[in-house]
Chain A
Amino acid sequence: MSDDLILLGHDVPAASRRVRPLLRESRTFAVITLVVVIVVLWESAKLLFHLPDRKLPHIGSILLEFGTRTQGGSGPYWGVLMLNNAAATLGEALTGFVLGGVLGCLLAVVFTASPLLERGLLPYVVGSQLVPILAIAPMVVIGMGHLGAPDWLSKAIIAAYLTFFPVTIGMLRGLRSAPPDSLPLMHSYAASSSQIFWKLRLPASLPYLFTALKIAATASIIGSIIGELPVGAARGIGVVVVNAAQYYNSRPQNLWAAVLVASLLGLCFYGAVVLAERLIVGPQAQT
Chain B
Amino acid sequence: MQVQAPVIAINNLTKTYEGGAGQVVALANVSLQIGAGEFISLIGPSGCGKSTLMRLIGDLTQPSAGSIAVKGKTPTCARRDRDYGIVFQAPVLYDWRTVQRNVELPLEIMGQPRSERARRSAEMLKLVGLSEFEQAYPRQLSGGMQQRVAIARALVFAPSILLMDEPFGALDELTRERMQGELLEIWARTNATVIFVTHSIPEAVFLSDRVVVMSPRPGRIEAIIPIDLPRPRDTLTREDPHFFALATEVRERLRHS
Contact = CB atoms under 8 A, between A and B. Distances in A.
A3 to B, nearest CB: 14
Of the listed residues A10, A15, A17, the one surrounded by the most CB atoms of chain B closer than 10 A to its CB is: A10
A9 to B, nearest CB: 10
B223 interface: no
A18 B61 contact: no
Contacts of B19: 11, 14
A10 B61 CA distance: 10
Interface in B177-191: none
A130 interface: no
A17 B18 CA distance: 12
Nearest to A13: B20
A4 B243 CA distance: 43
A18 B20 CA distance: 7
Contacts of A1: none
State the majority secondary structure of interface residues on A.
Answer: helix
A185 interface: no
Interface in A1-44: 8, 10-11, 14-15, 17-18
Contacts, number: 14
A12 to B, nearest CB: 11
Contacts of B5: none
A206 B19 CA distance: 32
A8 B15 CA distance: 15
Contact size class for B? under 10
Nearest to A14: B20
A23 B17 CA distance: 22
B171 interface: no
Contact of B60 (A8, A15, A17, A18): A8
A26 to B, nearest CB: 19
B19 to A, nearest CB: 5
Interface string B37-77: 00000000000000000000000110000000000000000
B1 to A, nearest CB: 32
Interface in B13-33: 17-20
A18 B19 CA distance: 9
A11 B60 CA distance: 14
A15 B17 CA distance: 10
A80 B220 CA distance: 72
B61 A8 contact: yes
Contact of A17 (B17, B20, B61): B20
Contacts of A15: 18
A11 B17 CA distance: 8
Contacts of A8: 60-61
Nearest to A18: B20
A14 B17 CA distance: 10
A14 B18 CA distance: 9
Contacts of B18: 11, 14-15
Contacts of A10: 17, 61
Contacts of B20: 14, 17-18
Given A10-B61, A11-B19, 12 more contacts: A8-B60, A8-B61, A10-B17, A11-B17, A11-B18, A14-B17, A14-B18, A14-B19, A14-B20, A15-B18, A17-B20, A18-B20
14 contacts: A8-B60, A8-B61, A10-B17, A10-B61, A11-B17, A11-B18, A11-B19, A14-B17, A14-B18, A14-B19, A14-B20, A15-B18, A17-B20, A18-B20
Closest 6 CB pairs between A and B? A14-B20, A14-B19, A17-B20, A11-B17, A18-B20, A8-B61
